[in-house]
Chains A and B, each alone.
Chain A
């Protein structure tokens, strides 16, 4: 006897949040973004990222190599990127120092890559605690030469997932390395996440090396020995960096409409700032949060506007004061205060509220 089949229309279930660790969520996001090849070296606090990809990438028939050093890892990435592959590298601060050389070469050779730096305390071997003391390195530095690299800083694991896909997209669009700058807490913390995985477009036809079959040979290079040639190449790069500045500057604001104190913070520091701002408002201090998401390009113009009605700016960092220099370059309408902790210490909301109170008192309008 045949039973008629009945189809029941179920309402689409709301996606259930998953409890995800930052490093593992970023690894999954890279896989979903279509990452073809990963190269890394063990270092705390990013090791889970490497471990997760060690398991998952070969299952998917993709490339995973644990290199002999961070230098080896990023140069493997350089080679793979030259063939058009969607390449991911991850490390933590001391490893980033070793990758500085190839960052310069990849920028000069216009090769795309996403690099995740889960920052730890420094200088030197430092600590394995969370830190934001590589802001200078990420936004101003790493290798030699006139170049810039987009730097994206997530303040939640959900945002880290989204920025992995965005990072690949920006890398391909502008043919540049992109840094996703997380700190130890972003890598190690677990949060409920509805992961918004995304596979961005990727067209490597303009640069990929395939073997010169039916076309002229291609050379991926950063060497231009004639000064005229190198200056022309630098002008091309600078025009690209200007386009990135114009189109890829990102920030978020919270409670800025009536803010008289603007707290500027990114990543984990922004999470602390958010709690401190709630407490400050409860005590009658009108504070708001300006959160840079792209650290380079820094949201200079947006911050200047947000600061226009403020009587004080407070930069909050897990460092001795690095981003604050960009804040001071952006703001000339109000005094800029700084609060930071170093070495893996994280400021408490209470100590931030104390700083806001001091800034509030010092900038009180004279009667």
Chain B
């Protein structure tokens, strides 16, 4: 962060993080990826992790995260990011390793990889961006799509009799002993953005402290896929999505081990 530096007589209190590249993103108006990328860049700056970080990009809109974050990246096949991150981490134990995955990637095609990376307690951090839809391919239903939600592949609204129920995968992961930290945040207002940043910081610090997988699910938006304005999308997350996916820390085993909880 450039905050605190003086230029002329003015004090910069908010600037572009050094690791956030100076370019426009390809993301749609109202999409949450820009905010979440920024949080990661701020934290990598603040924790001085940039020079030792290897990110794992997944398949979806956010595959281009490597265009916006000034760090080493490897691109993963769809859903396989936790396995790729496992290989990175084991082969280069000194690196700081995180994956950036959407809900189609992590909660559908990649369930085996995330569950077993968690079961092994891989020392990686997963930033899991859940917008309840396959955005990049045109707004199809995801396993995280809410009941009744209209998508291009659930045109009558998601019906539980046909397609089952939204999958609370972060809760599922939180019960595994290999997961040291699991939390869910959102980005609907500055307060929530601040809380989510604190969660990602805690997840990063958990990785730095020792073994175990840390994951932060971030409830995000897809105004184009949802057929809403950006403002309506933020309100939808705050009012409806958080009812199905409650915000908060699901587990913090390092804190529990220290008797703080």
Contact = CB atoms under 8 A, between A and B. Distances in A.
Interface of A: 36-37, 39, 63, 65, 67-69, 71-73, 75-85, 87, 101-102, 105, 109, 209-214, 217-223
A36 B75 contact: no
Contacts of A220: 73-75
Which 7 pairs show the lowest CB-CB distances between chains A and B?
A79-B87, A213-B51, A75-B83, A80-B87, A68-B116, A76-B87, A80-B91
Summarize A's interface: helix, strand, loop or mixed.
Answer: mixed
A209 B51 CA distance: 11
Contacts of B113: 68, 71-72, 75
Contact of A221 (B51, B66, B70, B89): B66
A223 B63 contact: yes
B72 A212 contact: yes
A219 B51 contact: no
Name, among A69, A72, A214, A222, the residue most crowded by chain B CB atoms within 10 Å (CB to CB): A72
Interface stretch (B52-60, B126-134, B205-213): B52-60
A78 B51 contact: no
A155 to B, nearest CB: 32
A134 B71 CA distance: 40
B92 interface: yes
A210 B51 CA distance: 8
Nearest to A211: B52
A296 B259 CA distance: 60
Interface string B71-100: 111111100100111111111100110000
A87 B84 CA distance: 13
A67 B116 CA distance: 8
Contact of A212 (B70, B88, B89, B115): B70
A223 B75 contact: yes
Given A76-B87, A83-B92, A69 B52 contact: no
B90 A209 contact: no
Interface residues of B, number: 37
B72 A79 contact: no
Contacts of B75: 105, 109, 219-223
A80 B50 contact: no
Name, among A39, A65, A78, A214, the residue most crowded by chain B CB atoms within 10 Å (CB to CB): A78
Nearest to A221: B75
B112 interface: yes
Contact of B91 (A63, A73, A222): A63
Interface string B102-125: 000000000011011001100000
A5 B120 CA distance: 57
B84 A78 contact: yes
A74 to B, nearest CB: 8
B96 A211 contact: yes
B112 A217 contact: no
Contacts of B96: 211
Given A210-B72, A211-B96, A219-B75, A75 B53 contact: no
A75 B66 contact: no
A209 B88 contact: yes
Contacts of B69: 217
Nearest to B119: A68
B193 to A, nearest CB: 25
A209 B72 contact: yes
21 contacts: A36-B91, A68-B112, A71-B113, A72-B113, A75-B83, A75-B87, A76-B87, A77-B87, A78-B77, A78-B87, A79-B56, A79-B85, A83-B92, A101-B77, A102-B77, A209-B95, A212-B70, A217-B69, A217-B72, A219-B74, A223-B75
Contacts of A79: 56, 74, 76, 83-89, 91
A84 B88 CA distance: 9
Nearest to B90: A63
Given A83-B87, A87-B91, 7 more contacts: A39-B87, A65-B90, A68-B113, A76-B87, A83-B54, A85-B92, A211-B50
B74 A75 contact: no
Nearest to B75: A221
B190 to A, nearest CB: 29
A71 B112 contact: yes
Nearest to B87: A79
Contacts of B77: 75, 78, 101-102, 105
A76 B86 contact: yes
A36 B90 CA distance: 10
A78 B91 contact: no
Contact of A211 (B54, B87, B120): B54
Nearest to B116: A68
A67 B70 contact: no
Contact of B72 (A73, A76, A102, A218): A218
A39 B86 CA distance: 11
A78 B83 CA distance: 9
Contacts of B112: 68-69, 71-72
B179 to A, nearest CB: 16
B129 to A, nearest CB: 18
